[in-house]
Structure 1
């Protein structure tokens, strides 16, 4: 993505010139160990092997477009020409007719030449089909312009991987309507839980100057099917709803629109009070209702395709309808009626019960499940994948499957707030896939979380973005894979995390089978490795206070019991773990019976949720044959060994990946090796101080006494 494309107003001649100049720059420095900085992400168009290039050239000697002129069709044509300029060693000429590459809207005359299946394309927005024609050419067809753009990126992805051209035709349809990035970006350019530098939205310079990088951001999102962006933090002040900031948001929306991306704003519920001078923000107050209708009208006048509002209410100190004795449904519906059919309200279900005596993982269910059926049709209740807070491993939230009369959206976290920031290598697609594939959520016992969130005009999967102003966008090269995997799984939750890892590796590094095997194998083990050295056996929330960096299982002095790590592990001289069975908090009772039985089962040697749902004595014998104490130590050591394995496998790829990126990843893996040992040693030192058990034979003592680990402080930790 160097030589970033400008806004739509740039003339076609300048666009072609920029593409050709970029292609020449690429060709001049291409090679197996080409120096790169990661800016291009997975959109790296590099020369093809001659035999494969011949087939591409034969199938696409030129480009024919039969679709009404639009910024989105122009974006599709520009991207195709950008890539083929490299692959054909010449610009891709625009032809009026021919047997080359075609973009065809199925309501145009070009449809007469399409295969019958292509003429019956899905009406779901963004659906597309790619066909080989009898004359040897290729055609990308769709009912809408955005489908042509998505089809173009799909063809480019196919060729980047050097997949067989005879594997075409292909057809694809997004399974989820709203595929959204939630940016936790602040007015001052900082990013909450952001580990890749400052915000890419330069509010101070907007609207007069729009960084061309935003066009590259839009290209990357469109290439994986992301079609919605909330540009500001869910903890945002009402300032974002002022006319000055609506104008700034409009400039962003204008830049993203050609790539099929709608802009959302996080809205502060108290805005009528904060901005409008009203004495209240009560959602049943008519003055408040009028204020929100007028504000929605003002935004839509500036941004006609505005997506709607994302709201965090009555959570972590944020204002909300409960401040006035109203329900979440009454608050959400008031905003939804202000927006009307123009958009949606996304209402987050991440809430704290005012009474901390209610077990934390049960609070969202208690607050929202009784409201099932009370939300308007353009309200989406956005639920985190787990009932706690984006931990390295959690069971699914019990709200999924418990609100059949409400549109539920899935919220995932792409930024690794609890998985080592951008420092630790942790491929998150297995985490996402694990949640999506969880079954037993419906009455039939077969419904998966994916079944609940797919389909329909207000279906939603959202991800908390990991994008920042770092040159490589995400702070580390492998964190790009988490952005990529989120988009691909939001498009189609049935995709496998291994297949996604392979296509990402082929595009990001090289389409070499042995290299892809090595990189994908490394990625696929990385998340479990992090679980092992941070939160083994279903432990959770052991991270440092506020910044969530490093181990701090001893913390017990925060304002609410459920803010303290000791609340979650319940370790003492007798044992460890949180009893959430019927004999404890009975959080298991919020799940359907079949799923509750699976979560409570202790016969699986993986024991993924043992200490999440059970309090065990230290000397209890597990299905693995080890005691709880011995198993815990073994898991911590397995995590450390896993990171050493990641580093060794990455080291073996030296010379097969460009030196700058290889060196950056290797340096971060060294940090991860040290921090995995820190996690292991600090955790074992603390839990041993309670259990008073000796370490099992062959397992080393922590490097320092417990007091040393407790004394560590990190005021410079990012993402507060």
Structure 2
């Protein structure tokens, strides 16, 4: 018995995306006609139908996506049918089959056996079939040979985006327009972009989304908003995505009318249990709670003399009997002018290792300060064998030029995940901590702070899409390289031409090191404009907290520059394993990219590069500006070889970047020169403006 299963509504929605101009809205799911005619003919000939042996909604989504992709890539529409196992004829077909092949490690894994005569995608679950379908489409988009066998399984269980979106439509640290969630329209109107968003996430294996800001409003826990969130969850579910909610710890008081939010108070605990039951009436597969507590003014258990574990375990208790988890952020720090923010999270959480409920995961930023362009890995990743630690990366470019600077973040993610913590001896990488293989964590999580907004291309800068893509691919498999991901994304998004692909991939791989050179060379950090975090402000000495200033971190003075964490200013280096301490303890042997994270050195100190600290620092600032100019020239050489709208978009942003690279260079040189009293290295030209001139540029951002 055979019947068509391609739903009319889904077809119409998919084609609505295909018919749009190439404004970036399709992301990397661009199923344009394959230019290689021989390859296109082979694909068209090999796959004339898609056969389903499972009738779940997610399996139907997988089949629909395959049909949609084949139609776009070959120009010919395959037939989509369901069939009993006994009816199967795999010739000239892609068969989606439920089963557990050898080598598939979990329910979301899959096996693809492909040939020119037909292909079978087998998985233990419909989610696995969906991921297998997208993996097969990716191989077609990148024109892989049709004869292959491929088995794959995700290394991390929960792979999620964290949205810092607010109920009023704004996005904290969002640089691509307003929120994609239309709270004033929900639940009565479902924006078609929700489906495009779900498709994009599923295509790279992302299976979770916390939909609101970690600086949370209790409003999201009201019945009114739970109805809205339910509508979003219903759209996400067929794409294998669970919805999470960021909660305000004071909600029992603000919503429940209680006198306290003390996590050990019986009435408070009862309120959270009742609220959790209510949420599950709307969203039976609710993913769980994400919590920012006792951080930057947010309420938390410490307000009542309790610990982070007390607060997290209370919420875990409320989730007992459900599949959901509690993700508790470790981004906490005190305002101590004599302290070191580098140590705060470790000091607060280390004594609690082993005291958290098994439903609790502690979410740790990749570095110890705050998403700096290049940070040493967070010391917590080497010291928590009893508590599952989630990785929190930032996809949105808060400290990376927002949406005007070209910075592909794949190398940052890869470098962090591949770094050895020595937690269990050599080979104990951050990635192996996060995926649970090192400490046998029962639950594993990798999260990315999203920059998906209402801009047509979702991310503002066209290459911002590559950071979303790279995060998803590495959350699925952290052993992939940033370079192969860059090549893959370029082929799927910009061009199939080998020359263009090679040049764009090279530009992507160079973009982040270039940004670091003209902003934070030699391990300088946290010198951006106050509040808005855009542009340079190394002179910032007064703020709402001492650790929100720049001078707190760079410690520039006549005797030198840098934050000594080897014991003189702070003993933070001792938080790492001895092998890591050895790697960063000696300025003559360490990677200079981390130099000023751990050392305060005289301006005339001679580095292993042969240059003094001053000359090396200034040389890097000037090299960074020159490298942006080189990026411009090489991008301009691609005119006519890339979609014009995308080409012009990036060209304009690179012009802004070049101007602002000069701003960073001049501001930092002119400011630090006041302490070093030294001239520029030979061959470098003096800026044609003064320190007051560049300070005036920064003041513009604070005008009312």
Is 1:50 equivalent to 2:9 in the alignment?
no
In 2, Cα distance between equivalents of 1:196 and 1:254: 25
Name the counterpart of 1:368.
349
TM-score w.r.t. the length of structure 1 is 0.93
1:524-555 deviation line (CA, Å, top 9, x unaligned): 01001011000000000000111011000001
Aligned-residue offset at 1:38: 0.7
| Superimposed CA distance per residue, residues 185-204 of structure 1 (whole angstroms, 9 cap, x where no aligned partner) | 01110000000000000111
Equivalent residues in 2 for 1:507-526, closer than 5 Å: 507-526=492-511
Determine if contact 2:6/2:64 at 8 Å carries over to the other structure.
no
Would you say the 8 A contact 1:537–1:632 is kept in 2?
yes
Task: Choose from 64, 67, 74 the match for 2:51.
Answer: 64
The equivalences for 1:656-695 within 5 A come to: 656-695=641-680
Instruction: Give how far 1:315 is off.
Output: 0.2
SS at match of 1:104: strand
Runs of at least 5 residues in structure 2 that lack an aligned partner in the other structure: none
Per-residue CA deviations over 1:76-127 (Å, capped at 9, x if unaligned) read: 11111111112332221135432133333334xxxxxxxxxx6335251310
- The CA distance in 2 between the partners of 1:671 and 1:717, in whole Å, is 20
Q: Deviations over 1:534-585 (max 9, x none)?
A: 0000000000111011000001011322111000000011210101002331
| CA drift at 1:716 | 5.7
* Residue 600 of structure 1: how far off its partner (Å): 2.2
- Distance in 1, Cα, partners of 2:471 & 2:543: 34
Does the 8 Å contact 1:229/1:263 carry over to 2? yes
Answering whether residue 572 of structure 2 is matched by residue 584 of structure 1, we say no
Q: Which residue of 2 aligns with 1:232?
A: 212
1:275-674 correspondence runs (5 A): 275-340=255-320, 341-353=322-334, 355-455=336-436, 458-604=443-589, 606-674=591-659
Conservation of the 8 A alpha-carbon contact between 2:368 and 2:378: yes
Partner SS, residue 138 of structure 1 = strand
Shift of 1:715: 6.2
Aligned to 1:111: none
Deviation per CA, 1:176-221: give whole Å up to 9, x if none: 0000100000111000000000000011111111101100000000
Change (3 A) 1:364 1:706: same
SS of 1:64's partner is: strand
Alignment of 1:171 with 2:151, yes or no, is yes
Aligned to 1:132: 114
Q: TM-score w.r.t. structure 2 length?
A: 0.95
Structure 2 CA distance for partners of 1:265 and 1:13, relative to 1, 3 Å: closer
Residue of structure 2 equivalent to 1:6: none
Q: Which secondary structure does the structure 1 equivalent of 2:567 belong to?
A: coil
Deviations 1:631-681 (A, max 9, x none): 110010111111111111101111110111101100000000000000000
Report the more deviating stretch, 38-47 or 704-713. Answer: 704-713
Indicate the SS of the match to 1:525: helix
Whether 1:188 and 2:173 are equivalent positions in the alignment is no
In the alignment, the residues of structure 2 paired with residue 220 and residue 54 of structure 1 have an alpha-carbon distance, to the nearest angstrom, of: 27
CA distance in 2, matches of 1:496, 1:89: 33
CA contact (8 A) 1:605 1:623 kept: no
CA distance in 1, matches of 2:9, 2:419: 50
| C-alpha spacing 1:354/1:374, structure 2 compared with 1 (3 Å) | farther
- Written as runs of structure 1 = structure 2, the 5 A alignment for 1:96-111 is 96=83, 97-98=88-89, 99-107=91-99
Q: Could you say which residue in structure 2 is the equivalent of 1:87?
A: 73
> Could you say what secondary structure the match of 2:224 adopts?
helix
Give how far 1:21 is off. Answer: 7.9
Structure 1 residue 235, shift from structure 2 partner: 0.2
**Equivalent pair of 1:121/1:142 in contact (CA under 8 Å):** no
Q: Counterparts of 1:258-277 in structure 2 under 5 Å?
A: 258-277=238-257
CA contact (8 A) 1:400 1:441 kept: no
Q: Is the 8 A contact 2:164 2:449 kept in 1?
A: yes
**Structure 1 residues 262, 282: CA separation in 2 closer, same or farther (over 3 Å shift)?**
same
- Does the residue aligned with 1:608 lie in a helix, a strand or coil? helix
The answer (yes or no) to whether the contact 1:236–1:268 under 8 Å persists in 2 is yes
**Any conservation in 1 of the 2:6–2:80 contact (CA below 8 Å)?**
no
CA-to-aligned-CA distance 1:132-172 (integer Å, 9 cap, x gap): 36x81111110100111111100110000111112x11111
- Contact 2:335-2:547 within 8 A present in 1 as well: no
Between the aligned partners of 2:543 and 2:466, the Cα distance in structure 1 is 35
Aligned pair count reads 688
Q: 1:57 offset after TM fit, Å?
A: 2.1
Task: Tell whether the 8 Å contact from 1:64 to 1:100 is kept in structure 2 after alignment.
Answer: no
Is the CA contact 1:573–1:690 (under 8 Å) kept in the aligned structure 2? yes
| Contact preservation (8 Å) 2:33, 2:72 | yes
8 A contact 1:422–1:474 mirrored in 2: yes
| Residue of structure 1 in register with 2:231 after alignment | 251
Maintained 8 Å contact 1:19/1:81: no
2:479, 2:175 → 1: CA distance?
29
Alpha carbons of structure 1 residues 675 and 19: separation in structure 2 relative to 1, 3 Å: closer
Separation (CA, whole Å) in 2 of partners of 1:637 and 1:512: 33
> Within 2, Cα distance between the matches of 1:392 and 1:19?
37
Q: CA RMSD in A?
A: 1.9
Partner Cα distance (1:101, 1:119) in 2:
19
Match status 1:73 vs 2:59:
yes
For the 8 Å contact 1:346–1:381, the answer to whether it is kept is yes
Query: How far apart are 1:612 and its partner, in Å?
Result: 1.0
Cα distance between partner residues in 1 of 2:269 and 2:13? 49
| Separation of aligned partners in 1, 2:529 and 2:536 | 6
* Cα distance in 2, alignment partners of residues 306 and 579 from structure 1: 45
Structure 2 SS opposite 1:120 = coil
Deviation at 1:17, TM superposition (A): 5.8
Aligned pair in 2 of structure 1 residues 582, 716: CA closer, same or farther (>3 Å)? closer
Who is 2:125 aligned against?
A: 144
Q: Any conservation in 2 of the 1:310–1:348 contact (CA below 8 Å)?
A: yes
Q: Is the 8 A contact 1:542 1:551 kept in 2?
A: yes
User: What is the CA-CA distance between 1:614 and the residue it aligns to?
Assistant: 0.3
Task: Measure the CA separation in 2 of the matches of 1:15 and 1:320.
Answer: 43
